[in-house]
Amino acid sequence: MKIPKKIQTKIQDRKQNNILRTLPSIAERIDFSSNDYLGFAASETIFDKTHQLLIDRNLKQNGATGSRLISGNYELYQEVEAQLCAFHNGEAALLYNSGYDANIGFFSSVPQRGDIIYYDEFIHASIRDGIGMSNAKSYKFKHNDLTDLQTKIQKIQQSKTDDQEIYVVTESVFSMDGDSPNLPELINFCTQNNIYLIIDEAHALGVFGDHGQGLLQELKLENEVFARIYTFGKALGCHGAVIIGSEDLKNYLINFSRSLIYTTGLSPHAIATIKVAYDELATTNAIQQLQENIQIFQQATIDLNFIEGNAAIHCCIYSGNLSVKNTAKKLQEQGFAVKAIVSPTVPKGKERLRFCLHAYNTKEEIMKVIEALKKVQS
């Protein structure tokens, strides 16, 4: 069956510009590309404990049976929300089916008509999509540039009415750069100006903090922001997300967040896996091992063109889609799973090789991939 000509043209344009996305087959290579920072996705311990928990609770069902507002709000949901609330030192927690659902659910419903949203220019696509569904006005500011944000907000405040609210959203660790904003300065500015600040901690969970609580808690700033969003598809190795905020915010989202209201809840197995993964964070040695690997990688790449950052993501800038793809292919041929990030995912001229570090990467593997990169560049 034919597809519309406009769609056909878009596909052809991507093919001609060498940026057509395809679903890759997963080859057996040394992992420097996945978000499974702690190895939880493949943990037999978590798998077995999850299975046993379901048996012990007699939760022998495959699905939630409906949305949480109809029949899907079983007891384990509420238990895990209380667990996450305590772990993240928050007032209330609300689980979502994914980080994407959490972000579109929050930003499409919380900022109101007439309100203003400022977002980092490199913010995740799910947040952009949520903002696009909002009735609020939105403006981007330069990446991690507090001065640019301050300038933009100061201009708008001159004409701002009393019933207009200002929201600022950023990430504690950016997925395509691995860098972080100056959170203490950003929080101080937002507090002084009565601005509602939202932080996405997707790539900080499991990486920062004594037990992987995230960067905000490592800095003891978790209660200085309006809302925090944690997703479980990275270091937690499972699926879902949680929004941490006030009890009033939780009640509002239950009533107005469409991606929560109009979808079937997570299965008991999914919720049980979240619980067990969080239990594992409290005792695992993987966080310390990950931090050691990050330091090894940083020291060994100090003379290369990497974006500065202390997280598990490290990016080496290559200009041009073809150039970065060819380099990634050469590393893959040597047995390393390293991905090329091309435009339009990142700005043109800022294409990069993205290295994701894990607790299970050995020092030998890290040094070998860096040596291979240096040889390819020479």
Domain final residue pick, 281, 312, 340 = 281
**Count of domains in the chain?**
2
Same domain, 367 and 292: yes
Do 217 and 311 have their domain in common? no
CB 83 within 8 A of CB 90: no
CB neighbours of residue 278 within 10 Å? 23
Residues 295, 285: Cα–Cα separation, whole Å? 16
> Are 260 and 311 members of one domain?
no
Residue 301's CATH number: 3.90.1150.10
Q: Which of 183-187, 261-265, 306-310 has the lowest mean pLDDT?
A: 306-310
The residue behind tokens 């996945």 is 34
Q: Which of 281, 307, 325 is the last residue of a domain?
A: 281
pLDDT value of position 288 = 97
Q: Residue 359 sits in which domain range? A: 25-42+285-377
Residues 67 and 187 in one domain: yes
How confident is the model at residue 162, as a pLDDT? Answer: 81
Would the pLDDT of 190 be above 80?
Answer: yes
Q: Helix (H, G, I), strand (E, B), or coil: what is residue 99?
A: helix
Residue 348 pLDDT greater than 90, yes or no: no
Q: How far apart are CA 90 and CA 244, in angstroms?
A: 6
DSSP letters for 324-341: HHHHHHHHHHTTEE-EEE
End position of a domain, from candidates 248, 265, 281: 281
- Name the E strands within 142-207: 166-171, 196-200
Mean pLDDT of the chain: 95
11 within domain boundaries: no
CB-based contact 77:271 (threshold 8 Å):
yes
Judge if 65 and 79 occupy the same domain. yes
User: Poorest-confidence range of 25-29, 111-115, 126-130?
Assistant: 25-29
Residue 165 lies in a domain: yes
Q: Are residues 210 and 241 in the same domain?
A: yes
> Is residue 344 domain-shared with residue 370, that is, in the same domain?
yes
pLDDT of residue 42: 96
Residues 275 and 344 in one domain: no
Tokens 């690997």 sit on residue: 293
pLDDT at 349: 87
